[in-house]
Amino acid sequence: MTDRPVPVLLRHAAPYGEEPTDVLLADGVIVALGADAAAHPAAAGAQEIDATGRVLLPGLVDLHTHLREPGREDAETVGTGSAAAALGGYTAVFAMPNTDPVADTAGVVEQVFRLGQDIGLVDVLPIGAVTVGRKGERLAELGAMATSVAAVRVFSDDGDCVSDPMLMRRALEYVKAFDGVVAQHAQEPRLTVGAQMHEGAVSARLGLTGWPAVAEEAIIARDCLLTDHVDSRLHVCHLSTAGSVDVVAAAKARGTAVTAEVTPHHLVLTDELAVGYDPVFKVNPPLRTDADVAAVRAGLADGTIDIVATDHAPHAQQDKECEWDQASPGMLGLQTALSVVLETMVRTGLLDWRGVARVMSENPARIGRLAGHGRPVAVGEPANLTLVDPDATWVVRGSELASRSANTPFEGRELPGRVVATFLRGRPTVLDGQLVGADVGAGLGTRGE
Ligand code: DOR
């Protein structure tokens, strides 16, 4: 899509939920902001959108998405995942490399990158695997991925931990050459053999093998020390425990270049949900306790945790609707993330809308070294934007989500806030809460074929 987008005039939109104003988008950027925007020469022929009562945010950026392509197109494709992302208010997503083949070469990351560009709903930034095949044995060709068309800056073996400290050290050293970051799935494998859920009172009651908090905390502590030792940059994926918040806070206090993410589900759901043995609540790291939920919310509010990342993990029906111990871990997240953050962080007074922009757009773009996203709502900035109705509520139905899978842990739950429109470089990808003008491939809306 190289043709020029029709200009858009947003009437009475409230940037960051503050004073309503008019906002003019033309040629992919914000060209005017204020009462005189409609009088700007570029406003001629603009599509007008009444944004009264709507909050305008920089387009959301997800640093942790699973798009499943190549290899598991029955669960998600770059097309269906891009659609879910745009509908969730995202303009860029970073795609995890645990695909088949694994995204551990320039060829695979370029393929995923180009698919995303062709679909054109969000910018898809492939994350490269740290180790060949994600096997944790030897480093992948990080440099070749970094210099490829996909310009990879984030490397992760997510789904598995880079548990060998020597390999982790080497990866941290290597990514410095291109200002990259290693995003660690912090899980000490020897402490989590056969783990099925959080280790605690509920796992003891249910007789399921526990995944102790220390298995996460020990790896984060080790990796912060390694990061200091080689003067590199570390990102902690899906931090889930109160102890991990303390470890990251201590490292930041002594100057470690560490950032951390929390998922929407860890902001609200707990291990009590396992009592029904419904695998829709099985996820890795597992849902923790009320005390952990309180600690990660507080950590996000005070900046110890830098971002909310979805860990959007679509799974085909047969991989979720089975016995708990057989089920794949993971939950959908792209279309519910903003609503969960609104409920858990904004409605509770822990974050304002500027804070939401920081943790869901600015910080993830900065950590991923992604230019053009996570920018302020200001004249001259790229028109990557999300328009939100903060007063709307909706009931989540997995079958109605754009993802090719339906494994939402919020099924039937009423959530606040709806994404009304999303703009990628000035072009609407979502209007009136519906996708516009995109061919996302045969998978959209069809399942289980
Ligand atoms: O629950 C999870 N699902 N955690 C991970 O780390 C991987 C992900 C997946 O790929 O399904």
- Sequence-distant contacts of 366-372: CB under 8 A, at least 24 apart: 367/63, 367/154, 367/181, 367/235, 367/259, 367/306, 367/307, 368/61, 368/63, 368/94, 368/125, 368/153, 368/154, 368/181, 369/153, 369/179, 369/180, 369/181, 370/61, 370/92, 370/123, 370/125, 370/153, 372/123
Location of each CATH 3.20.20.140 domain in the chain: 58-367
Q: Tell me whether residue 40 is annotated as binding.
A: no
pLDDT tens per residue across span 21-38: 999 999 999 999 999 999
Which of 66, 69, 334, 404 to probe ligand 1 with, by most ligand atoms within 8 A of CB? 66
Question: Which atom of ligand 1 approaches the CA of 315 most closely?
Answer: 11
Rounded Cα gap, residues 337 and 364, in angstroms: 14
Which residues make beta-bridge pairs with 139? 131
pLDDT for the residue 437: 73
Average pLDDT over residues 296-302: 99
Q: pLDDT at residue 137 above 50?
A: yes
DSSP 43: G
Q: Which residues line ligand 1 (CB under 6 A)?
A: 66, 98, 158-159, 185, 283-284, 311, 313, 328-330
The residue among 47, 172, 36 whose CA lies nearest residue 436 is: 47
pLDDT tens per residue across span 366-376: 999 999 999 99
Residue 310 banded pLDDT, cuts 50, 70, 90: very high
* Domain 58-367, CATH: 3.20.20.140
CA 99 – ligand 1 centroid, Å: 11
Rounded Cα gap, residues 299 and 204, in angstroms: 28
Location of each CATH 2.30.40.10 domain in the chain: 8-56+381-397+410-433
**Containing H/E element for 50?**
strand 47-50
Fold of 8-56+381-397+410-433: Urease, subunit C; domain 1 (2.30.40)
**50: annotated active-site residue:** no
CA 295 – ligand 1 centroid, Å: 22
Of how many residues is the chain composed?
449
**Containing H/E element for 243?**
helix 242-253
Question: Which atom of ligand 1 approaches the CA of 314 most closely?
Answer: 11
Q: CA geometry: angle at 342 spanning 341 and 347, to 5°?
A: 125
pLDDT for the residue 440: 63
pLDDT for the residue 2: 55
pLDDT tens per residue across span 208-258: 999 999 999 999 999 999 999 999 999 999 999 999 999 999 999 999 999
Of these residues, 123, 311, 319, 389, which one is catalytic? 311
Write the single-letter amino acid at 124.
V
pLDDT tens per residue across span 78-128: 999 999 999 999 999 999 999 999 999 999 999 999 999 999 999 999 999
- Residue 310 CA: distances (Å) to CA of 97, 169, 177, 187: 15, 27, 28, 18
- Percent share of the chain, pLDDT over 70: 97
Nearest residue (by CA) to ligand 1, atom 3, is: 330
Question: Which atom of ligand 1 approaches the CA of 283 most closely?
Answer: 1
Q: pLDDT at residue 444 above 80?
A: no
